[in-house]
Amino acid sequence: MVNFLILLCIVIALCGAGIVAKKVLKTEKYRKKYSAYQAPERAKNVSLNVDDASCDRELVQTVEVDEYEQQLFDDIAAIFFQKKYRIESQAEAEQLQADFLRKMPVCCKTQIRQLDLGEWSIYWTFYNQSLEYYLGRYGEFYTHVDRFGEEHKLEYKFQESAS
């Protein structure tokens, strides 16, 4: 009787292992079939040294960033430079910030600053890259630091009215 129970337990364990193996094979087949519709593999990575403000200054983290994400940030900045914006309210600034943040890489960070005299600044960062839109009383200023560390600036100065 004990032998029969041990044999029954072994058969049940083998059936369970077979079901699990079959499920794993089906999942792998599904992944191979639909992997063509996913983002490209992480073939080209760039290592960056990032200082974390919450850690000690001696502690430097190395972060791998995909090259296509860096290129995406630069492309979005180029598109941003081509358009001419004039923000008048907090709601417009938040809308502009959200529109461009949706297009940027996932790890991108942003902030809006409302300064004195009706001046605005929207700032996006992605590791060592940045994009800033500043609307002051004398004009609009665009600044972009690309993935190579080069700074690009664009200014639209307002015509001063005669008093």
- The residue to which tokens 């792998």 are assigned: 28
Q: Contact 28/35 with Cβ under 8 angstroms?
A: no
Q: Contact 111/124 with Cβ under 8 angstroms?
A: no
Give CA–CA dist 134/118, Å, rounded.
11
Burial classification of residue 128, based on how many CB atoms lie within 10 Å of its CB (0-12 exposed, 13-18 middle, 19 or more buried): middle
Tens of pLDDT, residue by residue over 72-102, are 999 988 888 888 777 777 788 888 888 888 8
Reduce the DSSP state of residue 42 to 3 states and report it.
coil
> Cα 130 to the chain's mean position, in Å?
12
Residue 14: predicted pLDDT: 95
Helix crossing, 90-103 with 67-82: angle to 10°?
Answer: 140
Q: What phi and psi values does residue 149 have, to the nearest 5 degrees?
A: 85, 5
Tens of pLDDT, residue by residue over 33-82, are 766 555 445 445 555 555 545 444 445 566 677 788 889 999 988 888 88
- The residue to which tokens 């992480």 are assigned: 42
The arithmetic mean of pLDDT across residues 105-129, rounded, is 85
The arithmetic mean of pLDDT across residues 116-127, rounded, is 84
Q: Quick one: DSSP state of residue 117?
A: G
